[in-house]
A and B are shown apart, each in its own frame.
Chain A
Amino acid sequence: MTTKSAVPPTPSPGRARASLAALVSTTLLLTSACAVANSGDGGDAGSGAGGTLRVVLGQEPPTLEPCEASLTSTGVVVRSNITEPLIERDPTSGELLPLLATGWQQSEEDPTTWTFDIREGVTFQNGEPFTAEDAAFTIDRAVNSDLACNVDGYVFGDMELTAEATSTTRLTVTTGDPDPILPLRLSFVEIVPRTTSTEAKVREPVGTGPYAVAEWRTGISITLRRNEDYWGEAPAYSTARYVWRAESSVRAAMIDRGEADIAAALDPEDATEENSVPYPNNETTALRLDGTEAPLDDIRVRRAISLAIDRDGIVDTLFDGEADPAAQLVPRGVVGFNDELSPTPYDPAAARALVDEAAADGVPVDRRITLIARNSQFPRVAETAEALQYQLAEIGLNVRIRMTDTAAHLQYQLRPFPEDAGPVALLIMHGNQAGDAAFTASQYLLAEGPQSTFGTPDLDQRIAEADAVAGPARQDAFADVLTHQDETVAQYAYLAHMRGLLGLSPSVSYEPDPATGDELRLAEVSPAGDPRPRDED
């Protein structure tokens, strides 16, 4: 900052003043001209019939791409609102119901082939008619393209699948091996028109649903407009607007204040009778015990852990009673749910005895176990981890807590597991949205399952057998698998079947179901005092 002249030019004080003025005016300009705020669109007018339904989510959907709808944050907006599948599963009964397909059938002679009758008179929001060709295109796009769609991995794994439209109203799907639950799998495929790109994922999709994307203001809101040409019953609200707030207390405050009609996932301490309703959300929490590392490789230690957990205490104080102690990984309503299993009783004395016994046999019970949980996995997850840590310490185990973010948690959740992690007790939350224990077993119970640390050949065998049957036999077979895992493997110390809390303004009427967290059907929401029958045709 040196100048060479002896008497350097100096700015007059006027110039300094001018620069201050410039600063101030720039600031004002910045604040008034930029587009973030002050762009109210008056759509806030309330939730009367024909008005706007205001929904507040926990986070902005990363995309609205239908083939990513198995991502909760995407699906909650897309599924059954913007796009629809061929078949829908009743979240409560588990029954499959026709939607864009009016009927379906597995071929008698060739169990690898299924045919679907396509509903007529349905148009996409862009005006194009919906045909079997669109359905075939969608399935092909979701499963066989290079898009790496979430639904592909989540529902279909590495299944071979070909879809073909034999006429405008008839679709044939062929699988490599016979698949008794193909219709259930297809209920996850949201139908898009043929014109959708196969090269890239779309951010704002076109579908056949009751609402169409009107505007997505990145970071601020997504607005859906009622699809006036919808083939089914017209929804009550002409518009729906989603916003997102990360803090549960703010979402609750928005309901209390009347700024939102529906709020996703409230924490128990923010929920009141007036602003929320609880609903079972199909999620089950448990500790997954790494059976390959001492001392967790000893089944007595694993059983002791199960005995040491005060499930009733945790459910009552931490979950405010909005959960049920669990005895298995799947909740009631899922095919394979075993009614005869009951939660392990809280018995620290017995647990301690088991640990002592193991210690006497040379099991290094004082080796440090890492209890890994994920931040904001569910409300009060940190407190839950602390309670578990304390209860396990009470029976003489050496446990430390490690809270992680999603990415780090996934490294422990999915094979290949991190090396040198030592014995890990992973706090998992498993949601079986498909309603069939096969999805649980293949992931969590197989010895080499992607989310399983160990197993037995015997258990693998039973799972394979159960997967091949259908109907009541399937139920019994999977129920048996779950019992068997408890008795001989005991990889999991179950915690609870969770319930969600949906923020609901008194001005709207809506009844959440187990799928609400993944699929919030706007068409089922109506202004209070005007309860609409759920369309369950």
Chain B
Amino acid sequence: MTTTADPATGSAPPEGAAAPPGARPPRWWRLLGRDWAAAVAATVLGAVLLVALLGPLLIGDRAVRQNLDASLRPPSLDHGFFGLLGTDVLGRSVLARLVEGAGTTLSVAVPAVLCSLVVGSALGMWAGFHGGIRESLAMRLADAILSFPSLLIAVVVLYVFAPSVGNLVAILAVARIPVYLRTARAESTELRSRLFVDAARTFGTASWPIIYRHILPIALPTLLTVATLDFCFVMLTESSLSFLGIGIQPPEVSWGLMVAQGRQYLQTAWWIAVLPGVAIMLVTVSATVLAAWVRLATDPAQRWRLTLPRKRRGTRPVTPEVTA
């Protein structure tokens, strides 16, 4: 299948262009360097990750240190580094809280997305690969989860059991499983019908190796794209739960909680809600941009797009202009 190297009809790189035989593909950071948007996105994400990991060491207890006399100070240079982004109603440094919140936010969103990604994808690919009763079982399971009010689970877990980050992650993860399940199912159903899987199956290989070796690599880019979108969704849901009072519990702080609590001060102290909102936005936009880029960069059939000189990116895909 892969021996037909002539790409005349596909969207593959034109002959010999991007990947001449034996040539190393351009290193990823060189590709990244060529795409300023992806480079900026990677920088932002890297910085956030760094802040989330190291920030708490630098800020000490400033995220929770209250000073009722310093309530609602607007962002200014007058009150030192930690007064740079103003204070909240309890006189806590918004900057310190943003730093502290980065860790909490990521430690909710990342595990939640990963859990639902892994469980949902595995179930979905398994279901799509086998079809039949197993497929409809998995799909109805997805339907059931989707139609189950996740708010109820949240209320029960948070009010009846201990409200903890772990429980929050579990709720968010379970609620998002169907999305991956359905996506993975769709991909693997389509792939199942392709010859190479059939061939592999007739040799008596067990199903998981086939799924792992043949289906996963092809379904993964789509699943990862969904996961990035979901990353944003999870952060926003966490915020909505805080809006309804059942999210992260103070004095822990997350961006979502900051937005939810700060919404009351939109008119009087915009910085409390807007800054964490911007942080959520920056992270999700960066994640999406980077995911789109990774998808291009890891797809041999699409990678050539990244190698285009900037000025030609926008030219229409048909009828080349004549320059001769």
Contacts and interface: CB of A to CB of B under 8 A. Distances in A.
Interface in A361-394: 375-376, 380, 382-383, 385-387, 389-391
B43 interface: no
B267 A269 contact: yes
Nearest to B266: A249
Given A383-B89, A390-B90, A405 B68 contact: no
A313 B68 contact: yes
Interface stretch (B244-252, B276-284, B316-324): B244-252
B170 to A, nearest CB: 18
A404 B161 CA distance: 11
Contacts of B150: none
Contact of B91 (A317, A385, A401, A404): A317
A458 interface: no
B245 A405 contact: yes
B263 interface: yes
Contacts of A385: 250
Contact of B250 (A310, A386, A404, A405): A386
A280 to B, nearest CB: 22
A200 B8 CA distance: 80
A390 B159 contact: no
A316 interface: yes
A267 interface: yes
Contacts, number: 68
Contacts of A270: 264, 267
B119 to A, nearest CB: 26
Contact of A249 (B72, B155, B251, B264): B264
A317 B159 contact: no
A401 B251 contact: yes
Given A249-B266, A269-B264, A317 B71 contact: yes
A375 B66 CA distance: 21
Contacts of A316: 68
B147 interface: no
A314 interface: yes
A403 B154 CA distance: 13
A376 B244 CA distance: 10
Contact of A387 (B90, B155, B249, B269): B90
A317 B89 contact: yes
A35 B91 CA distance: 48
Contacts of A317: 68, 71-72, 89-91
B13 interface: no
A405 B90 contact: no
Contact of B245 (A249, A318, A391, A403): A403
A249 B260 CA distance: 13
B64 interface: yes
Nearest to B265: A269
Contacts of B268: 269
Nearest to A405: B159
B107 interface: no
B251 A387 contact: no
Given A249-B266, A314-B68, A403 B91 contact: no
Interface in A303-347: 310, 313-314, 316-318
B264 A387 contact: no
- Find the residue from B89, B91, B246, B249 having the highest chain A CB count within 10 A: B89
Nearest to B260: A382
B263 A249 contact: yes
B163 interface: yes
B316 to A, nearest CB: 28
A383 B159 contact: no
A402 interface: yes
Contacts of A313: 68-69
A248 interface: yes
A191 B68 CA distance: 49
A313 B71 CA distance: 10
B91 A375 contact: no
A473 interface: no
Interface of B: 64, 66, 68-69, 71-72, 89-91, 155, 159-160, 163, 245-246, 249-251, 261, 263-269
18 contacts: A267-B264, A270-B267, A310-B68, A316-B68, A317-B72, A317-B89, A317-B91, A318-B89, A382-B245, A383-B89, A386-B66, A387-B66, A387-B90, A389-B251, A390-B64, A390-B90, A405-B155, A405-B245
* Top 7 A-B pairs, shortest CB-CB distance: A375-B245, A313-B68, A317-B71, A408-B159, A317-B68, A390-B66, A386-B250
Given A249-B267, A387-B68, A401-B251, 12 more contacts: A269-B267, A270-B267, A313-B69, A317-B68, A385-B250, A386-B250, A390-B64, A390-B90, A390-B251, A401-B249, A402-B163, A404-B159
